[in-house]
Amino acid sequence: MRLKFSEFLVVFVIVSVLLVGGCSTQKVSSETSSPSATATEASTNKTTQSTTEITTDATSVSEATQEAIPGMKDLPRLEGKATVVMTVKGSPITIEVDGTNAPITAGNFVDLVQRGVYDGLVFHRVVRQPQPFVVQGGDPQSKDPKVSANRLGTGGFIDPKTGTERYIPLEIKPQGAETPIYGKTLETARINQPPVLTHKLGAVAMARSQMPDSASSQFYFALADLGFLDGNYAVFGYVTEGMDVVNKIQQGDRIDSAKVTQGAENLKNKN
C-alpha cells in the first residue's frame, strides 16, 4: 500500500521528532528518532531512541555477544517477567515487563525502578498531534528544578558505582529467533522477520539517540499502533491496566512512584 505524499510527510516528521526528544546525554533521540529516548524525540546528546523457533532459553545472552559489547555482561538482566506499577497523579499504570524476550532492556528498567530512579520524574514529551504518538519520560535531570526545560530529554542514569552514565545495547528479538539481536536495528542486521515485541498500543520502549546503543533511562508509552518503529527501538513490555491514565498524561506531569510488585526475584546481576 503506497503512502500519499502528505501521509509520508507526517510519518517523517513524527520520526524526526522522536530522535530529537531525548534520552540521555549522547544525542539520543531525545531527539531521538523514535520513541526510544525520544519516543518523541530522543535527545541531542546520546540518548534518544531497532530465525527459527524460539527456545525456552531465550533469556540467555551468549558469551560471544557479551564479549562483543563492552560492559554488557555486567548489566542487570531480567530472566522471566515482572510487574511494575507506576503511579501518576494518584492513578496506577500496570506494566508487564518482558525479560523473556528483552532480558537486558527489561532488566535495566526493573533495576532503575528498584533504585527509585523514576520516582518524581517528569514526562517531558507528550505528542498527540497530528495523531497520537508517544508519552516520554525518565530523564533524571527532571528532578532538579534548576535544569531548564530545553535540557530535559538529554539526561540518563548515572551509575553511582562507576560515576558514568549507564547505556544499554539496542536489543530486538526477531520472531522465530532463539536470542535477541544486539547493537543493530533489524534493517541493519538484514533481518526481514518482524520483532517479537511490537509497537502496538500500550507498548513500553526505550528512547535512544541515533546511536543504537545509547538508551539509558528514558522510556516511552505508545499511544497508538506504531508499526513503523518496529525493529528500530527496543520494546520491553506493555501496559496491561491503566491505559486510560496514560492517555491523560500531560507534558510536565510527574511520576509519583514506580514499584516492582511481582517478579523482582527474576532480576539478576543487580549492581
pLDDT tens track for 109-133: 999 999 999 999 999 999 999 999 9
| CB neighbour class for 67 (10 Å; exposed up to 12, middle 13-18, buried from 19) | exposed
pLDDT tens track for 191-216: 999 999 999 999 999 999 999 999 99
d(CA 113, CA 217): 10
Taking residues 59-65, report their average pLDDT. 46
3-state secondary structure of 38: coil
Confidence of residue 148 (pLDDT cuts 50, 70, 90): confident
Superfamily of domain 5-49+77-266, CATH level 4: Cyclophilin-like (2.40.100.10)
Output the CA–CA distances (angstroms, integers) from residue 193 to 34, 127, 131, 243, 247, in the order listed: 20, 29, 27, 28, 31
Average pLDDT, whole number, for the chain? 81
Q: What is the pLDDT of residue 48?
A: 34
CB 20 within 8 A of CB 162: no
Q: What's the pTM value of the predicted model, to 2 decimals?
A: 0.79
Instruction: Return the exposure string of 218-255: e unless at least 16 CB atoms fall within 10 Å of the residue's CB, then b.
Output: bbbbbbeebeebbbbbbbbbbbeebbebbeebebebbb
